[in-house]
Chain A
Amino acid sequence: AQSVTQLGSHVSVSEGALVLLRCNYSSSVPPYLFWYVQYPNQGLQLLLKYTTGATLVKGINGFEAEFKKSETSFHLTKPSAHMSDAAEYFCAVTNNFNKFYFGSGTKLNVKP
Chain B
Amino acid sequence: GAGVSQSPRYKVAKRGQDVALRCDPISGHVSLFWYQQALGQGPEFLTYFQNEAQLDKSGLPSDRFFAERPEGSVSTLKIQRTQQEDSAVYLCASSLGQGGTYEQYFGPGTRLTVT
**Which A residues are within 8 Å of any B CB, using their own CB?**
4, 6, 9, 32, 36, 41-46, 49, 51-52, 90, 92, 97-105
Interface residues of B, CB < 8 Å — how many? 28
| Stretch of B38-46, B64-72, B73-81 at the chain-chain interface | B38-46
Q: Which residues of A contact B33 (CB under 8 A)?
A: 100
Is B18's beta carbon under 8 Å from chain A?
Answer: no
26 contacts between A and B (CB under 8 A): A4-B42, A9-B40, A32-B100, A41-B108, A43-B108, A43-B109, A44-B91, A44-B93, A45-B106, A46-B103, A46-B104, A49-B100, A51-B100, A52-B100, A90-B42, A97-B99, A98-B98, A99-B45, A99-B48, A100-B33, A100-B45, A100-B104, A103-B42, A104-B42, A105-B40, A105-B42
Besides A98-B56, A99-B56, 20 other CB < 8 A contacts?
Answer: A4-B42, A9-B40, A36-B106, A41-B108, A42-B108, A43-B3, A43-B93, A43-B109, A45-B106, A46-B104, A51-B100, A97-B102, A98-B55, A100-B43, A100-B104, A101-B45, A102-B42, A102-B43, A105-B40, A105-B42
Q: Is the interface of A mostly helix, strand, loop or mixed?
A: loop
Q: Which residues of B contact A42 (CB under 8 A)?
A: 108
- CA A23 – CA B45 in complex, angstroms? 18
A to B contact number (C-beta, < 8 Å)? 60
Interface residues of B in 14-68 (CB under 8 A from A): 33, 35, 40-45, 48, 55-56, 58-59
Q: Which residues of B contact A101 (CB under 8 A)?
A: 45
